[in-house]
Amino acid sequence: MLSHLSVKNYALIEELEIDFSKGFSVVTGETGSGKSIMLGALGLILGERADLKALRNPNVKCIIEGTFELSKDIFSPFFERNDIDFEKQSIIRREITPSGKSRAFVNDTPVVLPVLKELGMSLLDIHSQHQTLLLNKSSFQFDVLDASSEASNIKGDYLLAFHAYKSLHKKLQRLIESERKANADKDYILFQLKDFEGLDLEGLSESDIEEELSLLSNAEEVINLSSQIADELNGNNSVVGNLMNAEQVLQKLSAFNKGYIDLLDRVKSAIIEINDIDEEVSRKVASIDVNENRLAELTELFDVVNRLQRKHNVITVEELIKVKEDFTLRISAVTNLSEEIELLTKELNKNLLTVKEKGKLLSDRRHKGVFSLQSSVKNYLSEMAMPHAELKVELTPNENPAEFGLESIEFLVRTNKGSSFEPLKKVASGGELSRIMLAIKSILCESGNLPAIIFDEIDTGVSGEVANNMGSIMKKMSNHLQVISITHLPQIASKGKQHYKVFKETKEDTTITKITQLNRDERLVEIAQILSGENPSQAAIDNAKELLN
């Protein structure tokens, strides 16, 4: 429950402090006095977006604090999940700086807006007039039926199964789309791979091919040049012959001077080395096989490799091998996708059976709860001067499971005896919709599915005994939770355990909004003024006394 509200520098509020208590509280005040401003401030600490225009003084920070009494069993999981210290009296603070920066804190721990909003939804339900539009939303109608049917746990099990099924379904659709694209490319890839057939790139050395191709292409010239080398090294007047002559001369010299022996050894080594070179050249010439077929084969291979390199925009054989491997992997992926799709389809079908089983349990529970919901709404509406009004809950099977179950839902209503059931938006007036919503909120309250609630003029469009009965219903709701009603009707204002008045006060050149809790005498005057105006008659005062008693 909300136990304290503090507002500083917000709209027409300069500074406001107010305590709230359990049970049924009412808030009154003239139109335009600032009741909606108080709701706006509450909305900020519940996670609504901030507006810099809300600052009363644009040079001063706006601070709004709410103190809430919390149950540890209900709220400690949220606090643990978000790493916030739990306090039985937890303080939510929202600050808006003059620069427009907004900050939120829970027990002095900074939190982001989505976290604050999640907490706020569990703390306080602000029922404004536009919220009546929820009556036409399927999600809200299912929530009401499930609360009345005590189907919330079953619904949770169904949602877990359904979301797992939807996740698998999305994955399967992605795979099918990937397979479609892969199959569209398959023929192209196979066509590309044909270029690589019979081509052993892994054992291929481009430099070796170029060298052998160069040798075979110029074999005749290589042989002629090699022969020329042989003549120069070991023919007439050759290098070897001249060195042998030098050897003989050095032998004679070494007999006269031992200093020539080293030179003699070096000449002998040179003769051996040149003879070895001559033999090596001869071996190379002998190894040359002027094979036209081999030349043609190498020329074709070289041309194929160069053509593929240009085609795939690469410059090395290694890069060409990578291109081939990529094509091969893409073809393999098509096969793997087909297998994966087959396995996933089987898993999806199993999940669908689970979803349908849990959906059937949910449907059975809902169908059993329909009569109870319809009966409860009828009883509440009868209390609020709609004795012939009836709600009809229509459940229609869906072709496929949906987020809310195996069926779609529609609330139909008839407000007059003998008339046909029609959708709410076609039949009910504003006042009737307010009463229907109050009936539904009362049912949700009994099921324990509501936090503290603020009704913002839910009594719009009603008066007299209807208003009196609506007040009684809200007072009865306060046995289960904190209820605060903003009202213009004396019948409802008189039923509050606490009564607060919102009013404007002008000082100097400025107007500010204030709120105060009224004692019994002040309540008497306030209710009398609501009945007959600023200067209430004795009859109005007597009427106010009667209402309060």
Q: How far is the C-alpha of 356 from the C-alpha of 364, rounded, in Å?
A: 12
Q: Residue 466 burial by CB count (10 A; 0-12/13-18/19+): exposed, middle or buried? A: buried
List CB contacts of 144: < 8 A, sequence separation 6 or more: 373, 440, 443, 444
Q: Are strands 498-507 and 24-28 parallel, antiparallel or unpaired?
A: parallel
Please determine, for residue 295, whether its predicted confidence score (pLDDT) is greater than 70: no
For residue 29, is it left (φ>0), alpha (ψ between -120 and 50) or beta? left
Host H or E run for residue 7: strand 2-10
Confidence of residue 109 (pLDDT cuts 50, 70, 90): very high
Please say whether the beta carbons of 455 and 485 come within 8 A.
yes
Give the pair of three-digit tokens for residue 349.
Answer: 């079908």
Please determine, for residue 407, whether its predicted confidence score (pLDDT) is greater than 90: yes
Q: How far is the C-alpha of 430 from the C-alpha of 407, rounded, in Å?
A: 29
Q: Which of 92-96, 397-401, 433-437, 452-456 has the lowest mean pLDDT?
A: 433-437
481 lies in some domain: yes
Q: Which residue type is seen at 176? A: I
Rounded to 5 degrees, φ, ψ at 30 are -65, 155
Host H or E run for residue 407: strand 405-414
Q: Which residue type is seen at 499? A: H
Q: How far is the C-alpha of 477 from the C-alpha of 383, rounded, in Å?
A: 14
| Better-scored residue on pLDDT, 310 or 361 | 361
Q: Which residues pair with 90 in a beta bridge?
A: 68
Provide, rounded to the nearest whole percent, the portion of the chain with pLDDT above 90: 36
253 lies in some domain: no
pLDDT at 501: 92
| Better-scored residue on pLDDT, 360 or 212 | 360
pLDDT at 535: 84
pLDDT at 221: 65
pLDDT at 364: 95
Structure-derived torsion over alpha carbons of residues 318, 319, 325, 329, reported in degrees to the nearest 10 = 150
Please determine, for residue 19, whether its predicted confidence score (pLDDT) is greater than 90: yes
Token pair 């939190």: residue: 111
169 lies in some domain: no
Question: Which range, 88-102, 425-439, 445-459, has the best average confidence (pLDDT)?
Answer: 88-102
58 lies in some domain: yes
Collapsed DSSP state (helix, strand, coil) of residue 386: coil
pLDDT at 298: 64
Please determine, for residue 396, whether its predicted confidence score (pLDDT) is greater than 80: yes
Q: How far is the C-alpha of 318 from the C-alpha of 53, rounded, in Å?
A: 66
Q: How far is the C-alpha of 453 from the C-alpha of 124, rounded, in Å?
A: 5
Q: Are strands 102-106 and 109-111 parallel, antiparallel or unpaired?
A: antiparallel
CB count within 10 Å of CB 441 equals 24
Q: Residue 159 burial by CB count (10 A; 0-12/13-18/19+): exposed, middle or buried? A: middle
Q: What is the pLDDT of residues 166-212, one digit of tens each?
A: 999 999 998 888 877 777 777 777 677 777 776 766 666 666 666 65
Q: What is the mean pLDDT of residues 241-250?
A: 83
Average pLDDT, the chain: 85
Q: What is the pLDDT of residues 137-166, one digit of tens each?
A: 888 899 899 988 888 889 999 999 999 999
pLDDT at 367: 95
Q: Three-state secondary structure along 456-524?
A: ECCCCCCCHHHHHHHHHHHHHHCCCCCEEEECCCHHHHCCCCEEEEEEEEEECCEEEEEEEECCHHHHH
Q: How far is the C-alpha of 408 from the C-alpha of 405, rounded, in Å?
A: 8
Q: How far is the C-alpha of 18 from the C-alpha of 501, rounded, in Å?
A: 11
Number of domains in the chain: 1
- Tell me the pTM: 0.67
| Better-scored residue on pLDDT, 26 or 258 | 26
Please determine, for residue 524, whether its predicted confidence score (pLDDT) is greater than 90: yes
Question: Which range, 36-50, 228-242, 442-456, has the best average confidence (pLDDT)?
Answer: 36-50
Q: How far is the C-alpha of 360 from the C-alpha of 264, rounded, in Å?
A: 111
Please say whether the beta carbons of 240 and 274 come within 8 A.
yes
Collapsed DSSP state (helix, strand, coil) of residue 237: coil
Please determine, for residue 108, whether its predicted confidence score (pLDDT) is greater than 80: yes
CATH of the domain at 110: 3.40.50.300
> In whole angstroms, how far apart are CA 342 and each of 176, 182, 329, 404?
10, 16, 20, 28
Confidence of residue 219 (pLDDT cuts 50, 70, 90): low
Q: Residue 269 burial by CB count (10 A; 0-12/13-18/19+): exposed, middle or buried? A: exposed
Residue 289 DSSP one-character state: -
pLDDT at 180: 79
Confidence of residue 428 (pLDDT cuts 50, 70, 90): low
b/e sequence 191-221, b meaning 16+ C-beta within 10 Å: ebeeebeeeebeeeebeebeeebebbeebee
Question: Which range, 6-10, 192-196, 291-295, has the best average confidence (pLDDT)?
Answer: 6-10
Q: Which of 50-59, 82-91, 219-228, 286-295 has the lowest mean pLDDT?
A: 286-295
pLDDT at 209: 62
Q: What is the mean pLDDT of residues 502-526?
A: 88
287 lies in some domain: no
**Range of the structural domain that residue 467 is part of:** 2-150+384-518
Among residues 507, 513, 496, the alpha carbon closest in space to that of 38 is found at 513
Q: What is the mean pLDDT of residues 34-52?
A: 86
Q: What is the pLDDT of residues 247-259, one digit of tens each?
A: 888 888 888 888 8
12 lies in some domain: yes
| Better-scored residue on pLDDT, 238 or 524 | 524
Among residues 113, 128, 133, the alpha carbon closest in space to that of 35 is found at 128
494 lies in some domain: yes
265 lies in some domain: no
Confidence of residue 286 (pLDDT cuts 50, 70, 90): low
CB count within 10 Å of CB 61 equals 15
